[in-house]
Amino acid sequence: MPATIIDGKAFAARVRTQVAGHVTRLKQDHGITPGLAVVLVGEDPASQVYVRSKGKQTVEVGMKSVEHKLDAQTSEADLLAVIDRLNKDPEIHGILVQLPLPGHLDEDLVINSIAPEKDVDGFHISNVGLLGTGQKSMVPCTPLGCLMMLRDHHGSLSGMEAVVIGRSNIVGKPMAQLLLGDSCTVTIAHSRTKDLPEVVRRADIVVAAVGRPEMVPGDWIKPGATVIDVGINRLDAPEKGEGKTLLVGDVDYESCAAVAGAITPVPGGVGPMTIACLLANTVTACCRANSLSEPEGLTA
Catalytic residue status for 121: yes
224: annotated binding-site residue?
no
Helix (H) or strand (E) holding 216: none
142 binds ligand NDP (CB under 6 A): yes
Per-residue burial over 156-189, b = 16 or more CB atoms within 10 Å of its CB, e = otherwise: ebeebbbbbbbbeebbbbbbbbbbebbebebbbb
Question: Cβ atoms within 10 A of the Cβ of 66, count?
Answer: 17
14: annotated binding-site residue?
no
Binding mask 175-214 for ligand NDP (x = CB under 6 A): --------------xxxxx--x------------xxxx--
Residue count of the chain: 300
166: annotated binding-site residue?
yes
CA distance linking residue 124 with residue 138, whole number of Å: 9
34 binds ligand NDP (CB under 6 A): no
CA distance linking residue 200 with residue 221, whole number of Å: 7
Number of residues engaging ligand NDP in binding (CB under 6 A): 25
CA distance linking residue 157 with residue 172, whole number of Å: 18
Q: Which residues contact 258 (CB under 8 A, 6 or more apart)?
A: 2, 3, 218
Q: Which is nearer to ligand NDP, 8 or 295 (CB)?
A: 8
Q: Which of 54, 118, 173, 222 is catalytic?
A: 54
Give me the residue whose beta carbon is nearest to ligand NDP: 168
Binding mask 258-287 for ligand NDP (x = CB under 6 A): ------------xx--x-------------
140 binds ligand NDP (CB under 6 A): no
80 binds ligand NDP (CB under 6 A): no
Q: Which of 18, 118, 119, 121 is catalytic?
A: 121
Catalytic residue status for 177: no
CA distance linking residue 249 with residue 255, whole number of Å: 13
CA distance linking residue 41 with residue 100, whole number of Å: 9
170 binds ligand NDP (CB under 6 A): yes
167 binds ligand NDP (CB under 6 A): yes
CA distance linking residue 96 with residue 121, whole number of Å: 6
299 binds ligand NDP (CB under 6 A): no
Q: Which of 34, 94, 116, 231 binds ligand NDP (CB under 6 A)?
A: 231
DSSP character at residue 3: P
> Among 150, 151, 40, 34, which residue's Cα sits nearest to residue 94?
34
DSSP character at residue 208: E
Q: Which of the stretches 126-134, 164-172, 278-286, 292-300 binds ligand NDP when contact is defined by CB under 6 A?
A: 164-172
Q: Which is nearer to ligand NDP, 23 or 141 (CB)?
A: 141
16: annotated binding-site residue?
no
Least distance from C-beta 78 to ligand NDP, angstroms?
27
Least distance from C-beta 193 to ligand NDP, angstroms?
6
* Contact footprint for ligand NDP (CB under 6 A): 142, 165-168, 170-172, 189-193, 196, 209-212, 230-233, 270-271, 274
